[in-house]
């Protein structure tokens, strides 16, 4: 799930070449983007196709390289990237896990937040056309060792819908709404301030 959350930052990657309605919609969305704030809903289906529950919260982005997931339900959790490290902050456990951002993002679409590479370098992009009133794109990782099998994304009005399929048989779905582009964001929100009585774990 940790790496899949970074994959969900795909829509914030470098602008794509214009080719087809789906890519055009994404290109228009990314053009001139510097900051972003959006509410999100996240659900998942396990290997037996059972829904594992609905999560929701707030997503913040400061390009390049900084983003923050604030989960407010069913339990509080924060995942933030400060440009050097990624911090997974679990308030109930009084625990934080630190990952070196360069390696944590390697092989995920979120890597485009911190590099200039084109999405085409790491993904085969397929126009799926219109389904359920939305123009869909399919992104297939070129890296055979990627945890992701494919990423689906589409815009519908002011919302962004995304589906992530991983090699473990899990499907994660996201809906981003109340999207605000290029609004002022307090930079302190991208800074982890350590707490003396919390456990600090070192991730991969």
Tens of pLDDT, residues 127-155:
888 887 788 889 888 888 887 889 888 87
Amino acid 9: pLDDT: 59
Rounded average pLDDT over 21-45: 80
| CA 29 – CA 143 distance, rounded (Å) | 27
Query: Does residue 166 have a pLDDT over 70?
Result: yes
Query: Does residue 33 have a pLDDT over 50?
Result: yes
Q: Which of 30-34, 58-62, 116-120 has the highest mean pLDDT?
A: 58-62
Domain 2-202 top-level CATH class: mainly beta
Rounded average pLDDT over 152-172: 85
% the chain with pLDDT above 90 = 17
Query: Does residue 17 have a pLDDT over 50?
Result: no
> How far does Cα 149 stand from its chain's mean position?
16
Amino acid 178: pLDDT: 95
Q: Which of 11-20, 22-31, 159-168 has the highest mean pLDDT?
A: 159-168
Query: Does residue 21 have a pLDDT over 80?
Result: no
Amino acid 112: pLDDT: 47
């Amino acid at each position: 799930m940790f790496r899949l959350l970074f994959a969900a930052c795909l829509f914030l990657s470098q602008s794509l070449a214009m080719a087809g309605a789906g890519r055009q919609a994404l290109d228009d969305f990314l053009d001139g983007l510097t900051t972003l704030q959006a509410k999100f809903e996240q659900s998942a289906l396990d290997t037996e196709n059972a829904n594992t529950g609905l999560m929701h919260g707030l997503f913040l982005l400061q390009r390049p390289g900084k983003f923050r997931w604030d989960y407010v339900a069913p339990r509080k959790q924060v995942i933030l990237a400060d440009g050097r490290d990624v911090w997974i902050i679990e308030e109930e456990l009084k625990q934080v896990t630190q990952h070196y951002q360069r390696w944590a993002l390697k092989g995920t679409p979120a890597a485009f937040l911190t590099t200039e590479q084109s999405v085409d370098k790491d993904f085969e992009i397929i126009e799926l056309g219109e389904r359920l009133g939305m123009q869909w794109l399919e992104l297939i990782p070129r890296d055979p060792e990627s945890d992701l099998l494919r990423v689906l994304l589409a815009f519908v009005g002011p919302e962004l819908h995304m589906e992530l399929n991983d090699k473990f048989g899990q499907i994660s779905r996201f809906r981003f709404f109340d999207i605000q582009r290029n609004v002022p964001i307090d930079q302190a929100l991208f800074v982890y301030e350590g707490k003396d009585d919390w456990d600090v774990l070192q991730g991969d």
